Structure 1
Amino acid sequence: MEHVDAVVVGSGFGGAVAAYRLAEAGLSVVVLERGRAYAPGDFPRGPAQLGRAFWDPAEGLYGMYDIWSFSDCDSVVASGLGGGSLIYANVMLRKDEDWFVHEQALPGGGYESWPVTRADLDPHYDAVERMIGVAPYPLSHPGFDGTLKTLAMRDAAAELGLDWRLPPLAVSFAPSPDAEPCQGVPVAAAAYGNLHGVPRRTCRLCGECDIGCNDGAKNSLDHTYLSAARHHGADLRTLHEVRRVRPRVGGGYDVQYVEHMPRGDDTAEDGDGPPRSTGPHTISCDRLVLAAGTYGTSHLLLKNRAAFPGLSAALGTRFCGNGDMLAFLLRATDRSRTRPIRASRGPVITSAIRLDDGADGRGAYIEDGGYPEFVDYLAEGAAMGPGRVARFLLRRLRNIVTHDTNLSAEFADLIGRGELSGTSLPLLGMGRDVPDGRLRLRDGRLDVEWTAETSEDYFDRVRAIMRRIGDVLGAEYADSPPWWRRRVMTVHPLGGAPMGLHPGEGVCDAYGEVFGFPGLYVADGAALPGPVGANPSLTIAALADRMCTRILETRAAVTAPVAKLSPIEAEAVPVGAAARPADAPEAPAAAADGPRAFAAGPQDEPSVFEGRTSLWFVEEMRGLLLPGPPGRAARGGPAGGFPFAFRLTITIDDIERFLTDPGHEARAEGWIEADLCGGRRPLARGSFNLFVPGETAGQRCMRYRLHFYDADGRPRTLAGHKEIQPGAPTRLWLDTSTLHARLLEGHVEEDGDERAAVVATGALRILPSDLVRMLTTFRTAGPDGTAAVARFCRFFLGELWEVYGPG
């Protein structure tokens, strides 16, 4: 089987960033993208091509647009190398600092909570902006200063006292960053080249951003991150659609995919004959980055949930549409005269109005909209109406009678003066709607349960401001047709695998790593726990960049602890993989001192960038447990008790803090194995305390607390301690190698041990051979790892000396 360091599923704003960062660092990277590659000039324009520019392989369609329709909302997402960047409107706004809320109550109940801050993301926002190349619309430069729709938005905002701005756009208006803006001139090539090998030209203001830029003026991901990723060795595979993912025994992941084989190079020919594909094929990897978009990633995880026992119950939650709202201002006038706007000239979006959170609703942005010039003809054709046609026919009859053979005026009147298209403006709203939707499977297909009802105040506020803008411009206001039935049409679906501080709150942590599954990451809109408010592309890319920094800082952590596997280990699930079977009862909500005490939140997680050094090692113990509390006669089970074993990866996230903290607490991840519990069971979470004071003078304890679910989905806790007693040095091996263990019902915190029902008790021991192996598993990440190991060893030996040394 083909094996690589990392597989990236999808090539949008999360996947492209991940592919580049990991490949640049020297990892072997394969990107699996279900759609095609589109070079400048390849995007469909004619009716025959546009009619097939949709995604449905079962029907022989392999185009860009993937349209989803659910009971209360519709969505348009992209398929192609570069993902959503192929059809988005270029806006690269940062999420407002005040919108990184923590446990903010929502109108319909529950709360919105972001485990990252604006300060966490600002360095990564900077990095993405530099890589993609962003600039505001050059409204003050000749050739751009007459953009009427931009001026109309500026004038309306000024009269209403609203916050108007020119947002950063991922568009090349100038041939190079230090040059003056100029239309239609060659763009300077990047140092890493361009994967298409086709020249690019600066923006011509044609309004075709959303249907693919055939000039290459849009700084889409294929021209930036993906070209750089390929330059560094990433293998970009198009028309490769992932169908299954699963953990590998011993660590890493298997990815199963099919390869689509459209018939012919032209999209108009793809449907000739039955659809074709090869596979399934399988590739394995140490790290798997899911970046297939909100729907694609959520669908993969839901469909393959049985392969990931213990995946958080938050899977499928926190869905929203980022407050997307489309409306139209029609027939603008200025003092009884038509006001020209020409929405078809310029990029799709040039300016934005920002609305703060207020008593009348959550915050939002309202942006001017645009479209290709051919849409003007469609609008005028729709507005032609029976009156204009009847007038043309009457004048034609009159010409026949009067023998007037000149029909120029008649045809000019029939076509019209373009007043509707020339004086109308789409408005695009987006903001902080309520993330209370849920994604689920229905008959194997993805479904969304979400309505606009709990976001009614938000939508009413946005529509009211849009109406006021229309009033200033003397225009009629019109909702988009879907809103007539209160259906939301979103191009920014978010949520489904949200990040959180612990598994009770999210599917992945603040770095996108899935709880319980080391090396599995979510790097797209599915990871967002609520709306961005602004256009989400930049935030998704920044989170992916932060994720990759974390991966590269701790790159050895995934593979090093499982580098050597015994025959028993070869049958195991990955270390730390999963917590609870998919059909098990949902874990209770976390108390303040519950999962948060074990889960590493942003303030707890190591960061080499901040100078922290982490350390980890692997420990194995085995022994026998007798059913029932101590002293009670054991009933059932084999003579002498049930075999019980565990294999743990003990991780110290910050060695300096660990050594100075009296609790000396570290994370414990891995699995237990016991017939009493149904075989090998992955841990939900665990903690390890080294050399904490015992109950008697001079005593030290090593404490273990391991939470898991048995094969029937019942929560269980293994609570154990090693007693390091003052005495003769000959006791050292016995004390440090013997764990006094109790198996308890439920997930029990330390202060609840005495009240918990006892399932079994006994002792586990580490064998000399296991100790030798443990010593070979010590690894570090961060600056000066050798010194960190030395400090840990000094602490360990110093504590033993305090207990067993001459008094």
Structure 2
Amino acid sequence: MEYDYIIIGSGFGGSVSALRLAKKGYSVLVIEKGKWFKAEDFPKTNWNFRKWLWMPSFRFFGIMKLSIFKHVAVLSGTGVGGGSLVYANTLPIPESTFFKTGSWQKLRDWEKELAPHYQEALKMLGAARVPKLFDGDIGLQKVAQNLGMEDKFDVTNVAVYFGEENVTKVDPYFEGMGPDRTGCNFCGACMTGCRNNSKNTLDKNYLYLAQKYGAEILAEQEVCDVKPLDEKDGANGYEVTIQTSTKLFSKKRKIRSKNVIFSGGVLGTIKLLLKLKSNSLPNISDRLGEDIRTNNETLVSVSSLEKHKNYSKGVAIGSILNTDANSHLEICRYSEGSNAWKLIHMPYVTGSNVFSRLLKVVVALIKSPIQYFKIYFVNSWAKQTVVLLFMQTLDSTLRFKRNIFGLMTSTVSSGQKPTPFIPESVILIKEYSKAVNGISTSFALETIAGIPSTAHILGGAVMGANASEGVIDKNNKVFGYKNLYIIDGSMISANPGVNPSLSITAIAELAMAQIPTKEKI
């Protein structure tokens, strides 16, 4: 069968594309390498590695993937609904700087043109302000007070159905076209998969409605080739080759489509396109893999020694502190019992080289043996711990390229290389630790190798005026080919400095608005 559009990936860009194209009368196939998940399929805690982690070599087919590069460790999502299954629900609109910097800045008046699409995205994703504060949020509020920044503290806007706690109601969003929803119980399990039917994941809005309009979703399949039918510019369409992503053996299948949209996120789209550039799609811009960004962020855990507090209660990210024009701090939480992260945590220290940091780790353990013993062996880690997420709009970029083994590697492209030891974040970590009577720890990779972690990897196929400036144009069309689009985090062409899911959704809405309704024959 031949489709009008094949969409590779079912995250924010792919889901928006699927719904809008299906509504316009096009035949649509969404291909997703991850699995379908119902509420009961998600792990009860992150100790269930098989359901939580995506590690096919170990036969783990969960919703979260950890990818480690030379300069950054990346957390990403896998499954029907992409990153929405594992992200922290937070939906901020970036500051004006985002729209006026980067390779896309002169292509449109982005802030003006995207404004209505941000509102549509907020509506579709069911955004709502967090209705109450919990212990972790109160700790951040205390930091704001101590720093004289009370007016900079706020609750977040999140994709969660609050309603009545644990009460199921008929679709509250789409006039009965959507699924029933259950009011949030503030269990804190957003990032291991919502088992309460409260999180507004993409399979409950965009993808759910796309299927109503005839879109097909093919899960547990991975695209391994996209080849123009005419061997030239793709004017006659493409042949897409797929293979299983969860079974050990299967035959490859070929499907034809007039148009193809890459929506696999940076780690999916850029990896695949770097491979295809060497054979099937050689005309892709040489800018492919350039301008890879994180939000210049750090992730540090703080475990409180106050047993009567419960830091796991709330939504994944319930509050935020905007510390200055370029920076802000959020607290993240996991549900009670999801203590697996502590296995790869070490005392949080800073230093210019690995030897000084390891020495400081030893000193920290010697100075506070009882406190660290409680964290690692006695303390219920998730119940007593928040993860501090610090982000900046200040820019630096990486380049991803393909090595001789077919693997992606990273190099610094511009600015300073990413670091987990940002001075502003160090101060805030100390302040939060003081506010909650806590001890800070971080991923061992940060302590040992100085490699920061991010859940917001962006860029690699940015917009430009031509192929020498970017990989796609202002309408998300790939330079050098017809009927080929990139609509996902890899299109982000500047540093948003905030959680990017809403921006990806809004830009996807704008891209789809440029495509006309299918003509009836």
What's the TM-score once normalised by structure 2's chain length? 0.84
Percent identical across equivalent pairs? 27
Instruction: Name the structure 2 match of 1:434.
Output: 395
Q: How far off is 1:449 after superposition? A: 2.1
Change (3 A) 1:164 1:76: same
**Correspondence for 1:126 among 113, 119, 127:** 119
Say if 2:331 is the partner of 1:371. Answer: no
Instruction: Name the structure 2 match of 1:708.
Output: none
Q: 1:95 touches 1:118 (CA, 8 Å); kept in 2?
A: no
CA RMSD after TM alignment: 3.3
Instruction: Name the structure 2 match of 1:168.
Output: 157
Q: How far off is 1:448 after superposition? A: 2.0
Letter in 1 for 2:406: G
Secondary structure of the residue aligned to 1:71 is coil
Letter in 2 for 1:530: A
Change (3 A) 1:481 1:453: farther
Whole-angstrom CA distance in 1 between matches of 2:341 and 2:11: 31
Instruction: Name the structure 1 match of 2:72.
Output: 73
Q: 2:47 touches 2:339 (CA, 8 Å); kept in 1?
A: no
Whole-angstrom CA distance in 1 between matches of 2:296 and 2:100: 16
**Correspondence for 1:446 among 408, 411, 414:** 408
After the TM superposition, which of the residue ranges 488-497 and 84-93 deviates more from structure 2?
A: 488-497
Secondary structure of the residue aligned to 1:129 is helix
Instruction: Name the structure 1 match of 2:145.
Output: 158
Say if 2:465 is the partner of 1:470. Answer: no
Name the structure, 1 or 2, with higher relative contact order (CA <8 Å, separation 6+): 2
Change (3 A) 1:211 1:300: same
Letter in 1 for 2:294: G
Instruction: Name the structure 2 match of 1:329.
Output: 302
Q: How far off is 1:38 after superposition? A: 0.4
Change (3 A) 1:151 1:119: same
Who wins on radius of gyration, i.e. which is larger?
A: 1
Whole-angstrom CA distance in 1 between matches of 2:402 and 2:77: 21
User: Cα deviation per residue 1:578-601 (whole Å; 9 max; x = unaligned)?
Assistant: xxxxxxxxxxxxxxxxxxxxxxxx
Q: How far off is 1:340 after superposition? A: 5.5
Q: How far off is 1:365 after superposition? A: 2.4
Whole-angstrom CA distance in 2 between matches of 1:246 and 1:435: 34
Q: 1:205 touches 1:347 (CA, 8 Å); kept in 2?
A: yes
Whole-angstrom CA distance in 2 between matches of 1:370 and 1:241: 32
Say if 2:465 is the partner of 1:501. Answer: yes
Change (3 A) 1:509 1:60: same
Q: Unpaired segments of 5 or more residues in structure 2?
A: 347-364, 371-376
Q: How far off is 1:307 after superposition? A: 2.4
Q: 2:90 touches 2:499 (CA, 8 Å); kept in 1?
A: yes
Secondary structure of the residue aligned to 1:14 is helix
Secondary structure of the residue aligned to 2:494 is coil
Q: How far off is 1:112 after superposition? A: 8.7
Number of corresponding residues: 484
**Correspondence for 1:311 among 284, 296, 306:** 284
In the TM superposition, 1:172-321 aligns within 5 A as: 172-174=161-163, 182-189=164-171, 190-191=174-175, 193=177, 200-249=181-230, 250-260=235-245, 262=247, 275-277=248-250, 279-305=251-277, 306-321=279-294
Secondary structure of the residue aligned to 2:482 is coil
Whole-angstrom CA distance in 1 between matches of 2:127 and 2:144: 24
Q: How far off is 1:457 after superposition? A: 10
Q: How far off is 1:367 after superposition? A: 0.4
Whole-angstrom CA distance in 2 between matches of 1:33 and 1:114: 34
Instruction: Name the structure 2 match of 1:19.
Output: 18
**Correspondence for 1:526 among 487, 490, 514:** 490
Secondary structure of the residue aligned to 1:532 is coil
Q: 1:192 touches 1:228 (CA, 8 Å); kept in 2?
A: no
Q: 1:192 touches 1:227 (CA, 8 Å); kept in 2?
A: no
Q: 2:31 touches 2:222 (CA, 8 Å); kept in 1?
A: yes
Whole-angstrom CA distance in 1 between matches of 2:428 and 2:202: 33
What's the TM-score once normalised by structure 1's chain length? 0.55
Q: How far off is 1:298 after superposition? A: 0.4
In the TM superposition, 1:631-650 aligns within 5 A as: none
Whole-angstrom CA distance in 1 between matches of 2:380 and 2:406: 49
Whole-angstrom CA distance in 1 between matches of 2:48 and 2:338: 16
Q: Unpaired segments of 5 or more residues in structure 1?
A: 104-110, 140-144, 175-181, 263-274, 333-337, 358-362, 391-414, 561-807
Whole-angstrom CA distance in 2 between matches of 1:511 and 1:99: 18
Change (3 A) 1:536 1:377: closer
Change (3 A) 1:251 1:459: farther
Whole-angstrom CA distance in 2 between matches of 1:546 and 1:421: 39
Q: How far off is 1:493 after superposition? A: 1.1
Letter in 2 for 1:448: S
Q: 1:348 touches 1:371 (CA, 8 Å); kept in 2?
A: yes
Q: 1:525 touches 1:540 (CA, 8 Å); kept in 2?
A: yes
Q: How far off is 1:470 after superposition? A: 3.4
Whole-angstrom CA distance in 1 between matches of 2:340 and 2:492: 39
User: Cα deviation per residue 1:230-258 (whole Å; 9 max; x = unaligned)?
Assistant: 00100111112111112222422221111
Q: 2:420 touches 2:446 (CA, 8 Å); kept in 1?
A: no
